[in-house]
Structure 1
């Protein structure tokens, strides 16, 4: 075993108390569990009776942050779209000037097309950003769930190996 006592685990996590175990350190702790002495791991896990609440709070905070990001992004996207729409209205008004040459009208048509393309690029970029953000949130939520499974599964495994092992290894013939 790489970690035979609580002190070595705390040093590896760079904490001086289990109360200082942050969200990112919980994931690291879960990854370290296979290298821990079973009794030490069980003793540490027993100090986390509120882990389920911690995981639920973490997911709730991520959901709240996601909602706020979506809302802020929607407002920003609407502002950009409105600005491009205003520019196109102004350019369309300029096209009504009878004194414009064909070249000037072509230039305005080009500007109209350019604003439409930039408006679309902004939309596509926003969608990519949101997709990336959602993927990151999914990863964090997945890791939180994984950490919970490791905690619960590790505890069950330790309890099973500590004496309540079933006889499923034998095969009746």
Structure 2
């Protein structure tokens, strides 16, 4: 075990009190846990000011970020599709002119088709974007949950070591 007491861990995290444990340093602390004894880790976790609130805050911040990303994405998609529709409307108006040559009509039709291809490509990109962001949010929430489970699991393990049921005689 690399860390033998709380003071060593605080020095490694660059804090003088557990009240100064930021979200970033909480992640570093979790990464350091394998290098400390279970007793020391549990003693520290018990001192965290409202670990449950911290975990809720992390998940809440992730939700807000995801929602704002979705809102911005939705607005961007609306603008893009509206612009494509406006281009098609203009092209259709041009197509209605009687004095166009076959080549001019063909060019306008190709431009209308191109806006359709652009929208299809943009839709595919958007679905990929949403998928990647959902995976990130799920991974972050999973990490917060895993961190909570690790703390709770460690506490349960420590409590079970102290339990008189462990010393059953044959």
The CA deviation string for residues 14-50 of structure 1, in whole angstroms up to 9 with x for no partner, is: 4443223222332332232222022321221111250
Which residue number in structure 2 is paired with residue 148 of structure 1?
148
The CA deviation string for residues 94-148 of structure 1, in whole angstroms up to 9 with x for no partner, is: 1112221111111111111111111222222122112111111111100000010
Answer 1 or 2: which has greater helix percent: 2
Which residue number in structure 2 is paired with residue 60 of structure 1?
60
The CA deviation string for residues 63-98 of structure 1, in whole angstroms up to 9 with x for no partner, is: 222222222221221111011000001001111122
Q: Tell whether the 8 Å contact from 1:3 to 1:9 is kept in structure 2 after alignment.
A: yes
Structure 1, unmatched stretches of 5+, are none
Number of aligned pairs?
Answer: 170
Which residue number in structure 2 is paired with residue 164 of structure 1?
163
Which residue number in structure 2 is paired with residue 6 of structure 1?
6
Q: Tell whether the 8 Å contact from 1:26 to 1:147 is kept in structure 2 after alignment.
A: no
Which residue number in structure 2 is paired with residue 120 of structure 1?
120
Structure 2, unmatched stretches of 5+, are none
**RMSD, matched Cα:** 2.0
Give the match's secondary structure for 1:46.
helix
TM-score (norm 2): 0.88
Q: Tell whether the 8 Å contact from 1:33 to 1:41 is kept in structure 2 after alignment.
A: yes
Instruction: Measure, in 2, the Cα distance between the counterparts of 1:100 and 1:134.
Output: 49
- What aligned pairs does 1:124-139 form with structure 2 within 5 A after superposition? 124-139=124-139
Give the match's secondary structure for 1:166.
helix
TM-score (norm 1): 0.87
Instruction: Measure, in 1, the Cα distance between the counterparts of 2:47 and 2:130.
Output: 37
Which residue number in structure 1 is paired with residue 33 of structure 2?
33
Instruction: Measure, in 2, the Cα distance between the counterparts of 1:114 and 1:165.
Output: 75
Instruction: Measure, in 2, the Cα distance between the counterparts of 1:168 and 1:93.
Output: 88
Give the match's secondary structure for 2:52.
helix
Question: Where in structure 1 do 4 or more consecutive aligned residues deviate above 4 Å?
Answer: none
Instruction: Measure, in 2, the Cα distance between the counterparts of 1:131 and 1:165.
Output: 50
1:89 counterpart = 2:89: yes
